[in-house]
Amino acid sequence: MSLLSYFFGNKPKTASVAKERLSLIIAHERGGNRAPDFLPDLQRELIAVISKYVNVGPDDIKVQLEKQGNCEILEVNITLPDQQQPK
Amino acid sequence: MSLLSYFFGNKPKTASVAKERLSLIIAHERGGNRAPDFLPDLQRELIAVISKYVNVGPDDIKVQLEKQGNCEILEVNITLPDQQQPK
C-alpha cells in the first residue's frame, strides 16, 4: 500500500471539492539506549512551524500517538478552513 | 494496514539491535484554489527543528516526494548514528 493511498484513499479527487488538508507523521524508533522521549516537544515545535505557513486554530488539529515497544508514531492531522490562503 | 507496520514492519524489534530512526511524513491535499506550494520551505524548516533534537548530518537524511493530482507526500527518513544521544 502506498502512502498516497493511505492518506488520500483511492477515490478520485475533484480539486474543486477537496478540502485543504495537511497531515504530519513522526515515526521514531529508539535504539537500545534509554534516550529521553523528545517527541512531545518536537511535536509542539513542528506545529508552530506549520502555523507560520497556514492559519491553524487549535480545533483544526487532531493529534494521535501510537506506541509499540521502542517505536512511536505521532500523527497530526490539520484540516484547513475552506477559503484558506497560506500566509 | 497501520502506520506502525508501514514504518516498522512486523518483524520483532530487539531494542538492543535496533538503530535509532526518525521518519517525517508531510501529506498535503490542496483545496480547489491554486495555493502556492509551500512544502519545500516547510520541509527545510522542519528538518532544522529536528536537528535541534538529534545530531543529523546531510548524509543521514533521505527525502522523497510523491505527487498525484493536488495531493503531495513528502517523506523524510533520518537514520541516526549508533551512539546517538539526542541533544
Please report, for residues A34, A39, B80, B82, the alpha-carbon distance to residue A23 in angstroms, rounded to integers and kept in the order given.
29, 16, 24, 29
Residue A51 inside a domain? The answer is yes
Most A-contacting residue of B1, B2, B7, B67 (CB-CB within 10 A), to test interface: B7
Please give the distance of CA A46 from its chain centroid, rounded to a whole number. 9
Please report, for residues B35, B48, B86, the alpha-carbon distance to residue A22 in angstroms, rounded to integers and kept in the order given.
13, 19, 27
In whole angstroms, what is the distance from residue B79 CA to residue B17 CA?
14
Q: Please report, for the domain that includes residue B66, its CATH number.
A: 3.30.1070.10
Can you tell me the mean pLDDT for B28-40? 75
Q: Name the minimum distance, in Å, from the CA of A56 to any CA of chain B.
A: 14
Q: Name the minimum distance, in Å, from the CA of B51 to any CA of chain A.
A: 10
Residue A27 inside a domain? The answer is yes
Q: What pLDDT does A12 receive?
A: 52
Q: What pLDDT does B10 receive?
A: 61
Task: Note the pLDDT tens digit of each residue in A27-73.
Answer: 888 876 566 778 888 888 888 888 888 888 888 888 888 888 888 88
CB contact under 8 A, A4 and B68: yes
**Domains held by chain B: number:** 1
A 10 A CB-CB count for B57 gives 10
Residue A49 inside a domain? The answer is yes
| Structural domain for A36, as ranges | 3-79
Nearest to A73 among B7, B69, B82 (CB): B7
Can you tell me the mean pLDDT for B50-55? 86
Residue B33 has pLDDT above 60, yes or no: no
Residue B52 inside a domain? The answer is yes
Residue A26 inside a domain? The answer is yes
Nearest to A70 among B18, B53, B84 (CB): B18
Confidence band for A14, pLDDT divided at 50, 70 and 90? low
Q: Which cell numbers hold the place of A76? A: 497530526
In whole angstroms, what is the distance from residue B22 CA to residue A71 CA?
10
Residue A73 inside a domain? The answer is yes
Residue A87 inside a domain? The answer is no
Can you tell me the mean pLDDT for B65-76? 87
Q: What pLDDT does B20 receive?
A: 83
Residue A60 inside a domain? The answer is yes
